[in-house]
Amino acid sequence: MLRYRTVAAAPARSASATWRVITQLVADTVAASAALSRADAEQAMAAAAPAGRMLVAGGHLDRHPLTLVAGLVYCEVTTVSGTAALTAEENLNPVPGAAGATAYRIYLPAPGPLAAVVADAVTGHPNLSDARPPAPDETRTAAASGPLIDLDAVRKAVTGR
């Protein structure tokens, strides 16, 4: 499910504060999964923080989203800077769809001037990437993996046995 989140950056927040908000959003979303840990997501975002703060401060996240892919979640996070940041309407609720996720990945944009910094930040971290994110898969659904309805129970109701 493709979702968008916009976070107000400068002058509403400093680059560090903005990155903390994004970290919280990512961690809250990933934490919906029983198979994934919030601490792990926070650690991944902490590893990416040096590059992340520069992406925010340079206004790169205004134009190039950070993308979180976790189960059904496909969320593009961008920032808004300048005057618009003062009146931006934020939805910082966790993105639904990660409950069944068993893995996640955070794709950082790597614009030209910061490509090397971003590459350094993601190197060696399994949940970070500077590659282009895959296209969202809109055909997947959030239903439980098994059937929703027990057809045998319906059959019993039909036959009365």
Residues that bind another protein (CB under 8 A): 1, 3, 32, 72, 89, 91, 93-100, 138, 140-151, 153-154, 157
Q: How far is the CB of 21 from another protein (least distance, A)?
A: 17
In one letter, which amino acid is 68?
A: L
Short-list 87, 70, 83, CA closest to 129: 70
Looking at the Cβ atoms of 57 and 73, the one nearer to another protein is: 73
Looking at the Cβ atoms of 92 and 131, the one nearer to another protein is: 92
Relative orientation angle of helices 115-122 and 38-57, to the nearest 10 degrees: 170
Give the integer Cα–Cα distance in Å for 159 and 56. 64
Q: How far is the CB of 149 from another protein (least distance, A)?
A: 5
Q: How far is the CB of 12 from another protein (least distance, A)?
A: 18
Rounded to 5 degrees, φ, ψ at 7 are -120, 130
